Amino acid sequence: MGGIEQILTLDDVHVHYGAIWALKGINLTVGEGEIVSLIGANGAGKSTTLQAISGVVKSSAGKTTFRGEDITKVPAHNIVKKGIAQVPEGRRVFANLSVLENLEMGAYIRRDNKGIKQDMEMVLERFPRLKERISQVAGTLSGGEQQMLAIGRALMTRPKLMLLDEPSMGLAPLLVKEIFSIIQEINQEGTTILLVEQNARMALQISDRAYVLETGRIVLDGPAKELARQEDVKKAYLGG
Protein backbone atom coordinates (compact mmCIF):
# COMPACT_ATOMS: atom_id res chain seq x y z
CA MET A 1 0.00 0.00 0.00
CA GLY A 2 2.94 2.28 -0.55
CA GLY A 3 2.00 5.83 -1.33
CA ILE A 4 -1.55 5.77 -0.03
CA GLU A 5 -2.21 8.15 2.82
CA GLN A 6 -3.97 6.55 5.79
CA ILE A 7 -7.24 8.34 6.45
CA LEU A 8 -8.40 6.11 9.32
CA THR A 9 -6.42 4.06 11.80
CA LEU A 10 -7.72 1.87 14.60
CA ASP A 11 -5.01 1.00 17.07
CA ASP A 12 -5.79 -1.86 19.47
CA VAL A 13 -9.41 -0.84 19.96
CA HIS A 14 -11.43 -2.67 22.62
CA VAL A 15 -15.16 -2.43 23.30
CA HIS A 16 -17.06 -3.85 26.25
CA TYR A 17 -20.83 -4.04 26.59
CA GLY A 18 -20.99 -4.58 30.30
CA ALA A 19 -19.53 -8.04 30.77
CA ILE A 20 -19.45 -8.79 27.03
CA TRP A 21 -16.07 -8.20 25.46
CA ALA A 22 -17.14 -7.41 21.90
CA LEU A 23 -13.90 -6.06 20.41
CA LYS A 24 -10.63 -7.51 21.61
CA GLY A 25 -8.03 -5.22 20.13
CA ILE A 26 -8.85 -4.22 16.58
CA ASN A 27 -6.03 -2.91 14.38
CA LEU A 28 -7.20 -1.60 11.08
CA THR A 29 -6.34 1.05 8.54
CA VAL A 30 -8.21 2.61 5.67
CA GLY A 31 -6.30 4.49 2.99
CA GLU A 32 -7.54 7.63 1.29
CA GLY A 33 -9.75 6.71 -1.65
CA GLU A 34 -9.96 3.01 -0.82
CA ILE A 35 -12.89 0.67 -0.45
CA VAL A 36 -12.14 -1.56 2.52
CA SER A 37 -14.53 -4.23 3.64
CA LEU A 38 -15.04 -5.94 6.94
CA ILE A 39 -16.50 -9.42 6.76
CA GLY A 40 -17.33 -11.98 9.40
CA ALA A 41 -20.06 -14.12 10.91
CA ASN A 42 -23.02 -12.80 12.90
CA GLY A 43 -21.91 -11.35 16.18
CA ALA A 44 -18.27 -11.10 15.14
CA GLY A 45 -18.24 -7.41 16.02
CA LYS A 46 -18.54 -5.73 12.63
CA SER A 47 -21.25 -3.27 13.61
CA THR A 48 -19.51 -2.63 16.90
CA THR A 49 -16.35 -1.69 15.01
CA LEU A 50 -18.21 0.87 12.93
CA GLN A 51 -19.99 2.22 16.00
CA ALA A 52 -16.71 2.54 17.85
CA ILE A 53 -15.40 4.63 14.97
CA SER A 54 -18.47 6.86 14.88
CA GLY A 55 -18.48 7.25 18.66
CA VAL A 56 -21.90 5.69 19.18
CA VAL A 57 -20.26 3.15 21.46
CA LYS A 58 -17.28 4.08 23.57
CA SER A 59 -14.10 2.11 23.19
CA SER A 60 -12.72 0.91 26.50
CA ALA A 61 -9.15 0.98 25.26
CA GLY A 62 -7.22 1.82 22.14
CA LYS A 63 -7.06 4.76 19.81
CA THR A 64 -8.91 5.86 16.69
CA THR A 65 -7.20 8.35 14.41
CA PHE A 66 -8.92 10.10 11.54
CA ARG A 67 -6.88 12.30 9.19
CA GLY A 68 -4.18 12.64 11.77
CA GLU A 69 -6.53 13.60 14.60
CA ASP A 70 -7.25 11.44 17.64
CA ILE A 71 -11.04 11.03 17.57
CA THR A 72 -11.35 8.31 20.21
CA LYS A 73 -13.09 10.59 22.71
CA VAL A 74 -15.04 12.74 20.26
CA PRO A 75 -18.79 12.44 21.01
CA ALA A 76 -20.94 10.83 18.32
CA HIS A 77 -22.70 14.03 17.31
CA ASN A 78 -19.39 15.70 16.54
CA ILE A 79 -17.96 12.86 14.49
CA VAL A 80 -20.00 13.78 11.44
CA LYS A 81 -18.45 17.26 11.49
CA LYS A 82 -15.04 15.63 11.12
CA GLY A 83 -16.18 14.11 7.84
CA ILE A 84 -17.34 10.62 8.80
CA ALA A 85 -20.85 9.58 7.82
CA GLN A 86 -22.46 6.33 8.88
CA VAL A 87 -25.16 4.41 7.05
CA PRO A 88 -26.34 2.29 9.96
CA GLU A 89 -27.45 -1.31 10.00
CA GLY A 90 -31.19 -1.46 9.31
CA ARG A 91 -31.16 1.96 7.54
CA ARG A 92 -32.75 3.87 10.40
CA VAL A 93 -34.47 6.46 8.25
CA PHE A 94 -36.69 8.99 10.06
CA ALA A 95 -39.89 7.06 9.42
CA ASN A 96 -42.43 9.84 9.90
CA LEU A 97 -40.48 12.48 8.01
CA SER A 98 -40.62 12.85 4.23
CA VAL A 99 -37.82 11.86 1.88
CA LEU A 100 -36.93 15.53 1.49
CA GLU A 101 -36.90 16.12 5.26
CA ASN A 102 -34.70 13.05 5.74
CA LEU A 103 -32.19 14.40 3.24
CA GLU A 104 -32.35 17.82 4.86
CA MET A 105 -31.54 16.20 8.21
CA GLY A 106 -28.41 14.87 6.52
CA ALA A 107 -27.33 18.47 6.02
CA TYR A 108 -28.17 19.33 9.64
CA ILE A 109 -24.64 20.37 10.57
CA ARG A 110 -24.06 22.38 7.40
CA ARG A 111 -24.67 26.08 6.88
CA ASP A 112 -23.50 26.44 3.25
CA ASN A 113 -26.91 26.72 1.64
CA LYS A 114 -25.53 26.75 -1.89
CA GLY A 115 -23.51 23.61 -1.32
CA ILE A 116 -26.47 21.91 0.32
CA LYS A 117 -28.63 22.68 -2.70
CA GLN A 118 -25.99 21.31 -5.05
CA ASP A 119 -25.61 18.13 -3.04
CA MET A 120 -29.39 17.71 -2.87
CA GLU A 121 -29.54 17.85 -6.67
CA MET A 122 -26.62 15.45 -6.93
CA VAL A 123 -28.30 12.95 -4.57
CA LEU A 124 -31.64 13.15 -6.35
CA GLU A 125 -29.91 12.67 -9.68
CA ARG A 126 -28.17 9.60 -8.36
CA PHE A 127 -31.39 8.21 -6.90
CA PRO A 128 -34.21 9.04 -9.32
CA ARG A 129 -36.53 6.85 -7.27
CA LEU A 130 -36.12 9.17 -4.33
CA LYS A 131 -36.81 12.16 -6.53
CA GLU A 132 -40.12 10.62 -7.60
CA ARG A 133 -41.01 10.08 -3.95
CA ILE A 134 -39.63 13.30 -2.56
CA SER A 135 -42.62 14.13 -0.37
CA GLN A 136 -43.48 10.56 0.54
CA VAL A 137 -43.12 9.57 4.18
CA ALA A 138 -39.91 7.56 4.55
CA GLY A 139 -41.53 4.78 6.57
CA THR A 140 -43.64 3.83 3.56
CA LEU A 141 -40.67 3.39 1.21
CA SER A 142 -39.61 -0.11 0.18
CA GLY A 143 -36.54 -1.62 1.78
CA GLY A 144 -34.38 -0.79 -1.21
CA GLU A 145 -35.64 2.76 -1.38
CA GLN A 146 -34.98 3.20 2.34
CA GLN A 147 -31.42 1.99 1.80
CA MET A 148 -30.99 4.54 -0.98
CA LEU A 149 -32.40 7.20 1.31
CA ALA A 150 -30.01 6.23 4.11
CA ILE A 151 -27.09 6.47 1.67
CA GLY A 152 -28.42 9.73 0.26
CA ARG A 153 -28.81 11.16 3.75
CA ALA A 154 -25.21 10.23 4.55
CA LEU A 155 -24.03 11.83 1.30
CA MET A 156 -25.76 15.05 2.34
CA THR A 157 -23.23 15.38 5.16
CA ARG A 158 -20.57 15.56 2.40
CA PRO A 159 -18.37 12.92 4.04
CA LYS A 160 -14.74 12.09 3.42
CA LEU A 161 -15.27 8.63 4.82
CA MET A 162 -18.50 6.67 4.63
CA LEU A 163 -19.18 3.75 6.93
CA LEU A 164 -21.76 1.36 5.48
CA ASP A 165 -23.25 -1.38 7.64
CA GLU A 166 -24.77 -4.19 5.56
CA PRO A 167 -26.30 -2.07 2.83
CA SER A 168 -27.43 -5.17 0.92
CA MET A 169 -29.39 -6.65 3.80
CA GLY A 170 -32.78 -7.94 2.71
CA LEU A 171 -32.54 -6.69 -0.86
CA ALA A 172 -33.33 -8.60 -4.05
CA PRO A 173 -30.24 -9.64 -6.10
CA LEU A 174 -30.79 -7.02 -8.76
CA LEU A 175 -31.03 -4.26 -6.19
CA VAL A 176 -27.96 -5.56 -4.37
CA LYS A 177 -26.04 -5.11 -7.61
CA GLU A 178 -27.38 -1.60 -8.01
CA ILE A 179 -26.44 -0.65 -4.46
CA PHE A 180 -22.92 -2.02 -4.91
CA SER A 181 -22.40 -0.13 -8.13
CA ILE A 182 -23.64 3.03 -6.42
CA ILE A 183 -21.08 2.46 -3.67
CA GLN A 184 -18.38 2.16 -6.32
CA GLU A 185 -19.54 5.37 -7.99
CA ILE A 186 -19.51 7.24 -4.70
CA ASN A 187 -15.99 5.96 -4.12
CA GLN A 188 -14.83 7.00 -7.59
CA GLU A 189 -16.06 10.50 -6.89
CA GLY A 190 -13.65 10.72 -3.97
CA THR A 191 -15.31 9.28 -0.86
CA THR A 192 -13.41 6.63 1.03
CA ILE A 193 -15.54 3.62 1.98
CA LEU A 194 -15.46 1.23 4.91
CA LEU A 195 -18.00 -1.47 4.17
CA VAL A 196 -19.46 -4.14 6.44
CA GLU A 197 -21.13 -6.96 4.58
CA GLN A 198 -22.65 -10.41 4.97
CA ASN A 199 -22.54 -10.69 1.21
CA ALA A 200 -18.81 -11.32 1.26
CA ARG A 201 -18.59 -12.30 -2.41
CA MET A 202 -19.94 -8.97 -3.63
CA ALA A 203 -18.03 -7.03 -1.02
CA LEU A 204 -14.71 -8.59 -1.97
CA GLN A 205 -15.43 -7.92 -5.64
CA ILE A 206 -15.62 -4.16 -5.22
CA SER A 207 -13.08 -3.76 -2.41
CA ASP A 208 -9.40 -2.96 -2.52
CA ARG A 209 -8.69 -4.64 0.77
CA ALA A 210 -10.58 -6.60 3.37
CA TYR A 211 -10.45 -7.66 7.00
CA VAL A 212 -11.97 -10.85 8.36
CA LEU A 213 -13.38 -10.57 11.87
CA GLU A 214 -14.01 -13.46 14.23
CA THR A 215 -15.42 -12.98 17.73
CA GLY A 216 -13.96 -9.55 18.22
CA ARG A 217 -10.57 -10.20 16.62
CA ILE A 218 -9.18 -9.68 13.16
CA VAL A 219 -8.02 -13.08 11.92
CA LEU A 220 -7.13 -12.28 8.33
CA ASP A 221 -6.50 -9.28 6.18
CA GLY A 222 -5.11 -8.45 2.80
CA PRO A 223 -5.98 -7.41 -0.73
CA ALA A 224 -9.60 -8.38 -1.47
CA LYS A 225 -8.74 -10.44 -4.56
CA GLU A 226 -6.25 -12.55 -2.63
CA LEU A 227 -8.63 -13.16 0.25
CA ALA A 228 -11.32 -14.23 -2.19
CA ARG A 229 -8.98 -16.95 -3.50
CA GLN A 230 -8.04 -18.38 -0.12
CA GLU A 231 -9.60 -21.75 0.59
CA ASP A 232 -10.53 -21.10 4.24
CA VAL A 233 -12.17 -17.79 3.36
CA LYS A 234 -14.08 -19.47 0.54
CA LYS A 235 -15.29 -22.18 2.89
CA ALA A 236 -16.32 -19.92 5.73
CA TYR A 237 -17.71 -16.86 3.95
CA LEU A 238 -18.21 -17.51 0.27
CA GLY A 239 -20.31 -20.67 0.60
CA GLY A 240 -17.77 -23.16 -0.70
Partner 1 sequence: MLKKYFPSILACLALAVLFTIVQVGISGGLLSGYWITNIYLMGINIILASSLNLINGFTGEFSLGHAGFMAVGAFTGAIVTANLGLPFPLAIIAGMLAAAIAGVIVGLPTLRLRGDYLAIATLGFGEIVRVVLMNIDYVGGASGMMGIPEVVNWPIIFISVVLSLLLIRNFIGSSHGRACLAVRENDLAAQMMGVNITYYKVLAFVIGAALAGLAGVLYAHYYSIIQPKEFSFMLTFDVLVMVMVGGLGSLTGSVVGAVLLTTASAFLQAIPELRMVLYALLLIVSAVFRPQGLLGEKEITLRTFERWGGVLYAALNRKQTE
Ligand X SMILES: Nc1ncnc2c1ncn2[C@@H]1O[C@H](COP(=O)(O)OP(=O)(O)OP(=O)(O)O)[C@@H](O)[C@H]1O
Residue numbers of the site for ligand X (CB under 6 A)? 17, 20, 22, 40, 42-48, 89, 198
Q: How many CB atoms lie within 10 A of CB 70?
A: 12
Contact by Cβ (8 Å): 81, 129: no
CB nearer ligand X, residue 45 or residue 167: 45
Under 8 Å between Cβ of 35 and 43:
no
Among 11, 104, 214, 221, the residue binding partner 1 under the rule CB under 8 A is: 104
In the three-class reduction of DSSP (H, G, I as helix; E, B as strand; rest coil), residue 6 is classed as: strand
Q: How far apart are CA 180 and CA 205, in angstroms?
A: 10
Pairwise CA distance, residues 104 & 98, whole Å: 10
Least distance from partner 1 to the Cβ atom of residue 149, Å: 11
Q: Residue 42 touches which of partner 1, Mg ion, ligand X, none (CB < 5 to 8 A by kind)?
A: ligand X
CB 31 within 8 A of CB 6: yes
101 binds, among Mg ion, ligand X, partner 1, none (CB under 5 to 8 A by kind): partner 1
C-alpha distances in Å from residue 78, one per residue of 83, 107, 109, 138, 196 = 9, 13, 9, 25, 22
- Estimate the crossing angle of helix 143-155 against helix 99-106, to 10 degrees: 30
Q: Which does 40 bind (CB under 5 to 8 A by kind): ligand X, Mg ion, partner 1, none?
A: ligand X
29 binds, among ligand X, Mg ion, partner 1, none (CB under 5 to 8 A by kind): none
Residue 54 interacts with Mg ion (CB under 5 A): yes or no = no
Which x/- pattern over 32-61 shows residues binding partner 1 (rule: CB under 8 A)? ----------------------x-x-----
The residue from 47, 49, 147, 157 that contacts Mg ion (CB under 5 A) is: 47
The smaller minimum CB distance to partner 1, of residues 128 and 170, is found at 170
Write each residue from 72 to 101 as x if it is in contact with partner 1 (CB under 8 A), else as -, in one continuous string: ---xxxxxxx---xx-x---xxxxxx---x
Residue 185 φ then ψ, to 5°: -60, -50
Asked if 64 interacts with partner 1 (CB under 8 A), we say no
**Residue 190 to residues 14, 32, 67, 134, Cα–Cα distance (Å):** 30, 9, 15, 26
List contacts with partner 1 (CB under 8 A): 54, 56, 75-81, 85-86, 88, 92-97, 101, 104-106, 108-109, 153, 157
